[in-house]
Amino acid sequence: MADRAPHPDSPELRARWGNFIWNEANQAKAKEIVARYPEGRQRSAVMPLLDLAQRQVGEETNTQGWLPIPVMEYLAAYLDMPVIRVLEVASFYTMYNIAPVGRFHVQVCGTTPCVLRGSDDLLETCYKRGMKQGHTTADGLWTLTEVECMGNCATAPMVQINDANYEDLTADRLDVVLDLLARGEQPKEGTQEPGRHTSEPANALSTLKDMVTENHDYRSAW
Amino acid sequence: MPKVTVDGQEIEVPAGATVLQACELAGKEVPRFCYHERLSIAGNCRMCLVEVKPGPPKPQASCALPAADGQEIRTDSEMVKKAREGVMEFLLINHPLDCPICDQGGECDLQDQSVAYGRGGSRYDENKRAVTEKYMGPLIKTAMTRCIHCTRCVRFSEEVAGVDEIGALYRGENMQITTYLERAAEHELSANVIDLCPVGALTSRPYAYEARPWELKKTLSIDVSDAVGANIRVDSRGREVLRVLPRINDDVNEEWISDKARFQVDGLTRRRLDKVWIRKDGKLARASWDEAFRAIAAVNAGASVAAVAGDLVDCETMFAAKKLLGALGSTLIESRQTGMSYPVDNLAAVNFNSTLAGIEEADAILIVGSHIRWEAPLVNVRLRKAAKRGAKIFLVGAEWETTFAAEFLGEDLTVLNNLPDYVNDTMKGAERPAVILGGAALANGALAPALALAEGWNLVREGWNGFNVLHMAAARMGALMLGFAQAGGIADLIAAKPKLLLALGADEVNFATFDGALKVYIGHHGDKGAAAADIVLPGSAYTEKPGTYVNTEGRVQYADKAVFAPGDAREDWTILRALADALGVTVGFDSFPQLRAAMVAEVPALGVEGLANYGALPAAVAGAKAEGRIAAYPIKDFYLTNPIARSSATMQECSSELLHGEDVLEAAE
């Protein structure tokens, strides 16, 4: 995270993104989002709009999308707020990409539960494919980031690739997912554990056993 | 009003006070970094932890906790001591130990407070964080590794300056303070973040590695770069002024000064007049005082002598000149160099009557012909406060970038004769309406129509006077109080065709109009005045003489002498006193105390520090109509308005980089 920095401002960047405006669908969405906030508080909409802009850039570049400086300036003007405040928000949250990303943004969870369940192996798998943290591979296919908890601890370890979660991973299972993606196919999202549907207990029930059939009042047990 | 107990001492605090303020009222020192009286509360440094009961059994950040009735506050308990040591240790984790090479050393909050409240040593042996340098323009030097993330600079630029240019990027340990895309901070008050910074992250670029604070002689003085009369402290070493810092005066400058006031002082050592010069065959040649005085006496001007005072001159110099001319039998004195000729028989009509602090209270303001941000940046701060409180502000004149919500009514002054209904209604309906006239309005003769508006809107009422004139010259109000004005302005002097013209630091005069006169320039910088003069007598700048200044609201203030003038230069009054001898007249004073006593005897208001009373506004002239346009303002370049600033390398750099967008020159170029 320390080497996160906005993509440098350059004439080329201005030429590519300087005339960014909402496309028709997003124009309507943006209007609707701004309307959620009281009159005069329209700058509260900066977070959803940054996301929307990132997605529009993603559509144009066929990636998860990112936020070039001119796009942030466009947003600042759109919301009538200082551009430094937009940049502050965009640089604070890691879900806003402030530098270009590859076709697939591989976000490996590196928080405690995932590490305990083997996220180091997942990172190793990624490294073997030539990915490097915070960088995009030369073929433009992969960008690797280590992220903090994504809230899938019950199915740890997990990886988020663009907007899809892949859970219960092992090095081999991640390899399969990455292979499918590289071939242009869509792997199954969610848990990769055979027989598991979502985040239900992986084996036999170990807690709250009395709750299986009916609502049980545990208070007397306290 | 809540009653609280601080370390066993029961006190009553004002409603809305915080626990920190309660502790201060009780005389307890609470260490802090992010909290600042004039900024919003952030509560992010955690240094102000105290123990408060009732409440959770843990230390509380006192700056962000409202004082409530019955609170029992302890600042001396073991818990507080441990909490402070802990916070201090955390703050120092990433703070470099580079005090020996840090400019903040000796006046650093972090240094002082770690000595007072920190542990003796460090237990940290991991790597420290390092942050890349950030460019913030020619005035602010950064060493961002030292930053402790108090965000005072961010809050200052957003809340006080009104220009969102500094922000905090990234998060947590990686947080970095920067300007947008590392552009230069462009606001006129930008350098105040140097004072606000509690550590050495933001320091003064021109003053970098010049001196340590304990080496400096501190002299209390008054700023002359505009007519606000900001209270300053001049720090000097030997014969050189090294820097200028603001003093706190809530009535005048609060705690801020403009960048020009702060950084023009490096001009005090450049282009100085430190020798007597006499023009021979079209070229100025060095001479002695005797030769110069003989040359002046040789003109035999008699009563045909005139004096023009410049914008930076103190009252004593002007009074001495007035006495000298009086002894010679002349009354041809004027201070409005550029030809303005508004009536000055009633000074209330050309004064900032609301007072600088009072204008904050106004709820409807009409500004005519003033680029306030450039003419008086500190008044702009007050107007921003008024606007934040809900004041409606209208401006007449060419558009400029305001830092508050305001509406421009156009350049055409005739709009004053027929203001739109909603403006009229707002001004009429306001509880404390105010009008501010700038230099451009005075020059275009808008004083009379403005007075008519003032009468119509009833600007003067119980406890409120809303009629204001904002001057740009530090010397102006003092000059007017001393009668340094003619009915027709400087045109009267030109018409009198004097044989001898004394220019007291006057650089903006069109000297070609005084063709037949022997032009004697008494001043401190080799600027336009010296270039046009026949005889140059080296005088003192504002840091080199004691003096009385009257600011635009009629506040009489005194400045002390910080350093001696260079070379042969003398305090201006002594030159005029010697000239009196050379011309064979007596002026009635031989020392500075005598001069000041004589001045106070003639104008008693100059002897009392504080606001002078100019009486009631004159009655409006019936049928006064405004005409003309204000397409431009007198100040073309904020950073180069006076001879000192024009000689200052720092101000020239600011002008070229910040106003004219030229690239920064690297040392190799």
Q: Are residues A175 and A110 in the same domain?
A: yes
Half-sphere exposure of B601 (CA within 13 A, CB side): 9
Confidence of residue A204 (pLDDT cuts 50, 70, 90): confident
Chain A CA closest to residue B178: A84
Contact state of A85 with B168 under an 8 Å Cβ cutoff: no
CB-based contacts of B124, cutoff 8 Å, min separation 6: B89, B92, B93
Q: Is residue A117 part of a domain?
A: yes
pLDDT at site B535: 96
Are residues B178 and B133 in contact, defined by beta-carbon separation less than 8 angstroms? no
- Record: fold of B3-93: Ubiquitin-like (UB roll) (3.10.20)
**Position A60: which residue type?**
E
- Record: fold of B277-342+475-611: Rossmann fold (3.40.50)
Closest CA to B264 of B230, B303, B299, B310: B230
Closest residue to B167, CB basis, from A2, A9, A84: A84
For chain B, the domains span: 3-93, 95-215, 277-342+475-611, 353-469
Contact state of B164 with A82 under an 8 Å Cβ cutoff: yes
Contact state of A1 with B170 under an 8 Å Cβ cutoff: yes
CATH code for the domain in which residue A87 is found: 1.10.10
CB-based contacts of B431, cutoff 8 Å, min separation 6: B363
Q: Is residue A213 part of a domain?
A: no
What are the backbone angles phi and psi of residue B536, rounded to the nearest 5°?
Answer: -115, 120
pLDDT at site A213: 87
Using one digit for the tens of pLDDT, what is the confidence trace for A144-202?
999 999 999 999 999 999 999 999 999 999 999 999 999 999 999 999 999 888 888 87
CA distance B562 to B542: 9
**Position B122: which residue type?**
S
- The number of distinct structural domains making up chain A is 2
pLDDT exceeds cutoff 90 at A214 = no
pLDDT exceeds cutoff 80 at A3 = no
Segments of chain B with pLDDT less than 50: 668-669
pLDDT at site B64: 94
CB-based contacts of B300, cutoff 8 Å, min separation 6: B499
Q: How far is B361 from chain A (nearest CA, A)?
A: 24
Task: Decide yes or no: CATH 3.30.70.20 for domain B95-215.
Answer: yes
Q: Are residues A62 and A113 in the same domain?
A: no
Distances (CA, A) of B82 to A104, B65, B77, B217: 49, 20, 9, 38
Using an 8 Å CB-CB cutoff, list residues of chain A that contact chain B: 1-2, 4, 9, 69, 82-85, 87-88, 91-92
Chain A residue numbers with beta carbons less than 8 Å from the beta carbon of B179 are 84
Threshold 0.80, pTM exceeds: yes
Location of structure tokens 């006499």: B278
Q: Is residue A206 part of a domain?
A: no
**Does this complex have an ipTM over 0.90?**
no
CA distance B485 to B447: 16
Classify residue B358 as exposed, middle or buried by CB count within 10 Å of its CB (0-12, 13-18, 19+).
buried
Closest CA to B321 of B13, B578, B634, B35: B578
Contact state of B180 with A83 under an 8 Å Cβ cutoff: yes
CA distance B291 to B299: 13
CB-based contacts of B356, cutoff 8 Å, min separation 6: B228, B251, B252, B378, B379, B382, B551, B552, B553
pLDDT at site B43: 92
Contact state of A84 with B170 under an 8 Å Cβ cutoff: no
Are residues B208 and B103 in contact, defined by beta-carbon separation less than 8 angstroms? yes
Chain B CA closest to residue A96: B170
pLDDT at site B268: 95
Using one digit for the tens of pLDDT, what is the confidence trace for A31-77?
999 999 999 899 999 999 999 999 999 999 999 999 999 999 999 99
CB atoms within 10 A of CB B311: 26
Averaged over A74-84, what is the pLDDT?
A: 95
Chain B residue numbers with beta carbons less than 8 Å from the beta carbon of A88 are 167-169
Q: Are residues A64 and A115 in the same domain?
A: no
Q: Is residue A156 part of a domain?
A: yes
Using one digit for the tens of pLDDT, what is the confidence trace for B223-262?
999 999 999 999 999 999 999 999 999 999 999 999 999 9
CATH code for the domain in which residue A112 is found: 3.40.30.10
- The encoded tokens of residue A170 equal 């092992």
Contact state of A2 with B167 under an 8 Å Cβ cutoff: no
Are residues B617 and B460 in contact, defined by beta-carbon separation less than 8 angstroms? yes
Q: Are residues A63 and A132 in the same domain?
A: no
Q: Are residues A128 and A165 in the same domain?
A: yes
Q: Are residues A109 and A185 in the same domain?
A: yes
Q: What's chain B's Rg over C-alpha atoms? A: 27
Q: Is residue A150 part of a domain?
A: yes
SS (H, E, C) B194-209: HHHCCCCCEEECCCCC
Q: Is residue A77 part of a domain?
A: yes
Q: What would the CATH number be for the domain defined by B353-469?
A: 3.40.228.10
Which of A72, A92, A112 is the last residue before a domain boundary?
A: A92
Distances (CA, A) of B188 to B182, B259, B655: 17, 6, 11
Are residues B340 and B487 in contact, defined by beta-carbon separation less than 8 angstroms? no
Q: Inform me whether the C-beta atom of residue B179 falls under 8 Å from chain A C-beta atoms.
A: yes
CA distance B419 to B589: 53
Q: Is residue A23 part of a domain?
A: yes
pLDDT at site B623: 81
What does the CA dihedral B649, B653, B656, B661 come to, rounded to 10 degrees? 180
Range of the domain at A86: 11-92
Closest residue to A87, CB basis, from B169, B171, B174: B169
Q: What angle do CA B550, B554, B557 make, to 5 degrees?
A: 40
Q: Is residue A35 part of a domain?
A: yes
Q: Are residues A170 and A138 in the same domain?
A: yes
Cis peptide before B604 (omega within 30 of 0): no
Confidence of residue A1 (pLDDT cuts 50, 70, 90): very low
Location of structure tokens 């004073």: B589
- Average pLDDT score over chain B: 94
Contact state of B181 with A85 under an 8 Å Cβ cutoff: no
